[in-house]
Amino acid sequence: MASIKKRGENSYQITVSCGYDGAGKKIVKTKTITIDPGLTPKLADKELQKQAALFEREVENGTYLDGSKITFTEFTERWRKDYAEKQLEPKTYHRYDDMLKSRILPALGHIKLGKLQPTHLLQFYDNLGEAGIRRDVKYSVKPEFEDLIKQKKLRLVDLCRKSGVSDDTIRRMRSGKTITTKTATALCKALEVKLETLFLAQESGPLSGQSVKHHHRLISSILTCAVQWQCLISNPAERVKPPKVDKKEAAHLEEDMTEFMLSLLDDEPLKYKTMVYLAVYSGSRLGEVSGLEWSDIDFDKNLLQVCRASQYIPGKGIFTKGPKNESSKRVIAMPPLVMDLLKEYRVWQNQERLKCGDIWEDHDRLFTKWNGKPIFPTTPSTWYREFRRKHNLPDVKFHGLRHTNASLLIGQGVDVQTVAKRLGHTKATTTTSIYSHFLKRPDQEAADKLQNLFKKKTSESPKEA
């Protein structure tokens, strides 16, 4: 039976006996709670008895977590099991898991949950802002690379085939550009030498302010859960401000550059041309484009339905899920030129199906591998990166085509509410926040029109005699 002892004006200590240990010492669990001072004495007593019974049940079931005795790591494990694994989307959970394992728990995991202070978090955020903290190390090629190529009498095409690295990437590397660890490793494996023989690692920089903010949000979310589960009285992360992040304009292509980029696609494979057209004209996300099925296309009404996304997680592989949120399930009107392109692409895909015969696996997906299996979710992004580098296009990623879509619509005077619905945003305020830079242009144009309107009326008014 739980015992209750008054500690302060509105605080009480609940004690539950758990028997005796091996040395005959009595084992007790205690918990301090605060009762709402606005409650009547009768309601306050009722709430107190309720909390005491709940605490006693938690102790008996072994689910009680004492914030003063468990570490942040131990609480995080319970948070994973009881909340994250059940409530979070797979990709979100994977990203959070990576942040916890790589940086957060090594730095803060040993601290007792109840001892975690704002100063600990501030020191951690400062560390994330130091040089060398990033894991995406870049490599520059040594002169030994050219010597080895000559020695082995390797042609560029042979090296590309053996390593899986594109010729454009190798040319840029030779001209002094840095490459990723993955690319450097692939080249060394193909050439049968150690990484340090041909490449020099460049010191990585600090995490961006946005990345630090993501770490802060995760920590704060976990500690909020600790407060809700009554392991903490308050959340120390709420008393810390993460580094200020300068708002940047969403990377996109301007109208003229978009037109030029689309014209270049006439000489590219039809499958990739169709991917890019869909991204530009629908504003769909990468996973949404990869997850499209032919049943989502209404050729009679020129409509595109977005109702799923294709994603990949190491260890789990490729999987299909619903869109990012409920508002992401949407139907988008498409221009006839895109629908005509889709018809042309469907004819091409049917021809490929016939060539494969029984080998073809029919998944109804628009974009597939050679045998009908769904493409890797990042294939459009990977191909577009090489495409833009080949043509020296601006450094705008595939996701930037979604921003390009929004920019073009806003520039044409389409109202924000309509843009938000087409993009699948829950609220128009989300659209306004992301594309505030774009909204300034039509706003300035509106001001100019008013200026010209009244100038015109003033000049046309009759002068007094």
- Between CA 440 and CA 173 the distance in angstroms is 39
Q: Which domain holds residue 49?
A: 3-61
Which residue, 365, 388, 411, sits at the end of a domain? 411
Mean pLDDT, range 311-322, rounded to an integer: 87
276 Cβ neighbours under 8 A, 6+ residues apart: 261, 262, 265, 380, 384, 401
Helix (H), strand (E) at residue 95: helix 90-99
Q: How confident is the model at residue 462 (pLDDT cuts 50, 70, 90)?
A: low
Q: Which of 98-112, 138-152, 260-274, 319-333 has the lowest mean pLDDT?
A: 319-333
345 Cβ neighbours under 8 A, 6+ residues apart: 270, 271, 274, 366
Mean pLDDT, range 357-375, rounded to an integer: 93
- Between CA 171 and CA 156 the distance in angstroms is 9
215: CATH: 1.10.150.130
Domain count, the chain: 4
Mean pLDDT, range 407-412, rounded to an integer: 89
DSSP code, position 374: B
- Between CA 209 and CA 220 the distance in angstroms is 16
User: Quick count: other Cβ atoms within 10 Å of Cβ 347?
Assistant: 10
- Indicate whether 270 and 384 sit together in one domain: yes
- Between CA 67 and CA 227 the distance in angstroms is 10
- Between CA 342 and CA 273 the distance in angstroms is 10
Q: Is the pLDDT of residue 457 over 70?
A: no
Q: Is 433 or 272 the better-scoring residue by pLDDT?
A: 272
Q: Is 41 or 27 the better-scoring residue by pLDDT?
A: 41
- Between CA 157 and CA 172 the distance in angstroms is 15
- Indicate whether 273 and 398 sit together in one domain: yes
Q: Is 460 or 70 the better-scoring residue by pLDDT?
A: 70
What confidence score (pLDDT) does residue 328 get? 84
Q: Is the pLDDT of residue 379 over 90?
A: yes
Q: Is the pLDDT of residue 187 over 50?
A: yes
- Indicate whether 192 and 320 sit together in one domain: no
Mean pLDDT, range 379-388, rounded to an integer: 93
Lookup: tokens for 320: 């299909």
**Which segments within 175-267 are labelled E, that is strand?**
179-180, 199-202
Q: What is the pLDDT of residues 235-244, one digit of tens each?
A: 999 999 887 8
25 phi and psi angles, rounded to 5 deg: -85, 135
Helix (H), strand (E) at residue 319: strand 317-321
Q: Is 1 or 181 the better-scoring residue by pLDDT?
A: 181
Mean pLDDT, range 295-315, rounded to an integer: 93
Mean pLDDT, range 376-401, rounded to an integer: 93
Q: How confident is the model at residue 465 (pLDDT cuts 50, 70, 90)?
A: very low
- Between CA 116 and CA 239 the distance in angstroms is 12
**What is the chain's Cα-based Rg?**
30
- Indicate whether 82 and 160 sit together in one domain: no
Residue 462 lies in a domain: no
Which residue, 29, 61, 93, sits at the end of a domain? 61
Q: Is 35 or 272 the better-scoring residue by pLDDT?
A: 272
Mean pLDDT, range 112-141, rounded to an integer: 88
Residue 194 lies in a domain: yes
- Indicate whether 99 and 180 sit together in one domain: no
Sequence length of the chain is 465
- Indicate whether 339 and 286 sit together in one domain: yes
- Indicate whether 127 and 143 sit together in one domain: no
Residue 274 lies in a domain: yes
Lookup: tokens for 89: 């989307």
- Indicate whether 172 and 80 sit together in one domain: no
DSSP code, position 33: E
Q: Is the pLDDT of residue 434 over 70?
A: yes
- Indicate whether 229 and 177 sit together in one domain: no
- Indicate whether 88 and 220 sit together in one domain: yes
Q: Is the pLDDT of residue 63 over 90?
A: no
Q: Is the pLDDT of residue 34 over 60?
A: yes
Q: Is 374 or 166 the better-scoring residue by pLDDT?
A: 374
Residue 426 lies in a domain: no
364 Cβ neighbours under 8 A, 6+ residues apart: 293, 294, 295
Give the chain's end-to-end CA distance (angstroms, integer). 101
- Of 332, 320, 365, 371, which is closest to residue 346 (Cα–Cα)? 365
Facing residues of 202 across strands?
Answer: 138
pTM listed for this prediction: 0.73
Q: What is the pLDDT of residues 201-252, one digit of tens each?
A: 887 778 888 899 999 999 999 999 998 887 888 899 999 988 787 778 889 9
Q: Is the pLDDT of residue 16 over 80?
A: yes
- Between CA 314 and CA 90 the distance in angstroms is 11
22 Cβ neighbours under 8 A, 6+ residues apart: none
Spatial contact of 419 and 431, defined as CB atoms under 8 Å apart: yes
Q: Tokens 């619509």 appear where?
A: 409
Mean pLDDT, range 266-280, rounded to an integer: 96
Residue 461 lies in a domain: no
Residue 465 lies in a domain: no
What confidence score (pLDDT) does residue 441 get? 67
Q: Is 385 or 34 the better-scoring residue by pLDDT?
A: 385
Q: Mean pLDDT across the chain, nearest whole number?
A: 88
- Within 13 Å of residue 452, how many CA atoms lie on the same side as its CB? 6
Lookup: tokens for 362: 């029919």
What confidence score (pLDDT) does residue 64 get? 63
- Of 187, 181, 194, which is closest to residue 158 (Cα–Cα)? 187
- Indicate whether 214 and 198 sit together in one domain: no
Residue 428 lies in a domain: no
Spatial contact of 428 and 420, defined as CB atoms under 8 Å apart: yes
**Which segments within 92-230 are labelled E, that is strand?**
138-141, 179-180, 199-202
User: Quick count: other Cβ atoms within 10 Å of Cβ 252?
Assistant: 22
Residue 93 lies in a domain: yes
Spatial contact of 250 and 403, defined as CB atoms under 8 Å apart: yes
- Of 114, 7, 4, 21, which is closest to residue 56 (Cα–Cα)? 4
Q: What is the pLDDT of residues 284-300, one digit of tens each?
A: 999 999 999 999 999 99
Q: How confident is the model at residue 458 (pLDDT cuts 50, 70, 90)?
A: low
- Of 392, 364, 405, which is closest to residue 280 (Cα–Cα)? 405
- Indicate whether 323 and 344 sit together in one domain: yes
What confidence score (pLDDT) does residue 324 get? 75
Conformational region of residue 315, where left means phi above 0, alpha means psi within -120 to 50, and beta covers everything else: left
What confidence score (pLDDT) does residue 463 get? 56
Q: Tokens 């890019």 appear where?
A: 276
Helix axes 270-282, 255-264, angle to 10 degrees: 160
372: CATH: 1.10.443.10
% residues pLDDT > 90 (the chain): 53
Q: Are strands 3-6 and 317-321 parallel, antiparallel or unpaired?
A: unpaired
Which residue, 34, 61, 88, sits at the end of a domain? 61
DSSP code, position 27: E
